[in-house]
Chain A
Amino acid sequence: MTIAALPTSVLAGESAFVWKRRSQLVIGAAVFAAVAALPYVVTDIYLQNVLILTLMYAALSQSWNILGGYCGQISLGHALYFGVGAYATSVLFIKYGISPWLGMLVGGVIAAAVALALGYPCFRLKGHYYSIATIVIAEIGLLLAHNWDYVGGALGMQWPFGADSWATLQFARDKLPYFYFALGLFIVTWLVTYFIEESRWGYWWRAVKDNPEAAASLGVTVFESKMAAAAISAFFTAIGGAFYAAFVAYIDPESVMAFRFSLLFALPAVLGGIGTLWGPAVGAAILIPITEITRSYAGGSGSGLDLIIYGTLIMVVALMKPEGILSLFRRSAKREREA
């Protein structure tokens, strides 16, 4: 073992890594281009609707993954931030005529502020206690929305009908604009994740997830790391909520803040691969079509069969591949290398 000889190993390690990072971007570009072409193949309105929801949940799960996957703080209350985004945008647009584009930013900032205010007490809780606290807080938010007349109470709020326009994000029949908005939102959350992965926060979050005490000994400010993850995660979740409000043009507490949503943000990431760049997208691509299609074919009497199906899926994944579907590919790639 020599002391001075490092350049070859260092340089080889660096170039291999740079190549690996770039290839992710190339794969991303190819996937996004292919998805962008999908509506030209899938022209059925109903199926386009499924695509839009799949992309939306992929984006939302990608946002959830920042806090839950990378930082390891399993929130089951992200419906709260989704609702904040949906309500902020709707209130500003319906009552004050403020553009939904501005409204979604306002919603995002409010959601991030709420996440920080809640994180301050809640991040002192560990593991399951944190998750339970997030469920309870989101339920409180749901009750507040139910009883707050200013935002329509239990009746909710209807977006006014207007001409099709990108400015108001209103399109009466056309699904394509929503499709591309949802795709754009997913690409943004994917890029945010991609760049954060290779930044101080990215590394520190994963260290906090694996071992907070060891992380602290290496200079990681554990509490601040969690707060940053929560704020970024909540911001993009609220943007998703704003999009959803514009998309369905009518919101009430149950349709944007129910516990069901919190699950739907977490499950794709868990199914696809928690704390990975592609996990949420893979999970959403499997889960959301199943959910939507069973819901429409197995009767419209509310949620039932879809919940059973993805409950089963999650159990299978948890028992057989706890690291998610993506880990299947990683294993086989490793076997090839060794062979």
Chain B
Amino acid sequence: MSGEPILKAENITRRFGGLVANSEINMVVHRGEMLGLIGPNGAGKSTLFNLIAGTYPPSEGRIIFEGQDIAALSAPKRCQLGIARTFQVPRSFDTMTVIENVIVGGFVRHASATAARRAALEVLDFVALTGRTNSPASELTPPEKRRLEVARALATQPKLLLLDEVLTGLTPSEARLGVEIVKRVRDKGVTVVMVEHVMEVVMPLVDRAVVLDLGRVLAEGTPAEVVRDPRVITAYLGERHRAA
């Protein structure tokens, strides 16, 4: 599974006032892989995710994307370089239609609205939202909004896609559709980092997992390795898993 590294986090620390949310994190994401970023609530997953996406800069450390330190770059700059993200709580543009939401992302790669619209129609087909093309985004169901998040991000033609709990809280059939979409994204050659805190969802899907706990990297490896790691079992899965 190990291509060359597409993203490297080197000694990342992020403080919010006195709170250290991420502490000396080192992590590598290989090109073409699907990486799960997991950990219990409050482990620092979202902070690390936001640091990579460029919501805020790290207090210390470097973030290397394709050989370039991007730690000081703004979110739009990183998007241009090929990093896209979704939001855990969908942030659709609610006064716009579904396709208009997707077109916004397309303008990073396309100069004309016609080209952006054509690309958006293809992306909507890809995430099975064609039937909702002209619906106001505000009228989508929650699972549809998740897919819209993914569609918008894909419209920016990312090399690295960061998915923030896109599979959490879905019914089994919605989750199956979600899993299929994520797999097809990876099959297109996009590197995927998924944040999930429900292990059952991510483990069958990802090539590798990084486990965070209390702002530090606790363990990393293949899903099978990680699940067997006693530190992970104690910190994350707890007594329930041990009993099973």
Report which A residues bind B (CB closer than 8 A).
Answer: 1, 3, 5-6, 9-10, 13-14, 17, 198-200, 202-204, 206-207, 209-211, 213-222, 275
Contacts and interface: CB of A to CB of B under 8 A. Distances in A.
A14 B133 CA distance: 11
B62 to A, nearest CB: 21
Interface in B52-100: 53-55, 74-76, 79-80, 84-85, 87, 91-96, 99-100
Given A14-B121, A216-B75, A203 B107 contact: yes
A215 B104 contact: yes
Given A6-B122, A9-B125, A207-B104, A217 B75 contact: yes
Nearest to A72: B95
B11 interface: no
Interface stretch (B27-35, B40-48, B110-118, B234-242): B110-118
Contacts of B175: none
Contacts of B113: 198-200, 202-203
Contacts of B55: 213, 217
Contacts of B128: 1
B130 interface: yes
B184 interface: yes
B37 interface: no
Contact of B93 (A17, A198, A210, A219): A210
B96 A218 contact: no
- Chain B interface: which size bin? 35 or more
B76 A203 contact: no
A222 B55 CA distance: 13
Contacts of B116: 203
Interface in B114-165: 116-118, 121-122, 125-126, 128, 130, 133, 152-153, 155-156
Contact of A10 (B79, B94, B125, B184): B125
Contacts of B74: 216, 221
B223 interface: no
A280 B111 CA distance: 29
B84 A204 contact: no
B108 interface: yes
A211 B149 CA distance: 13
A275 B128 CA distance: 29
Contacts of A221: 74, 76
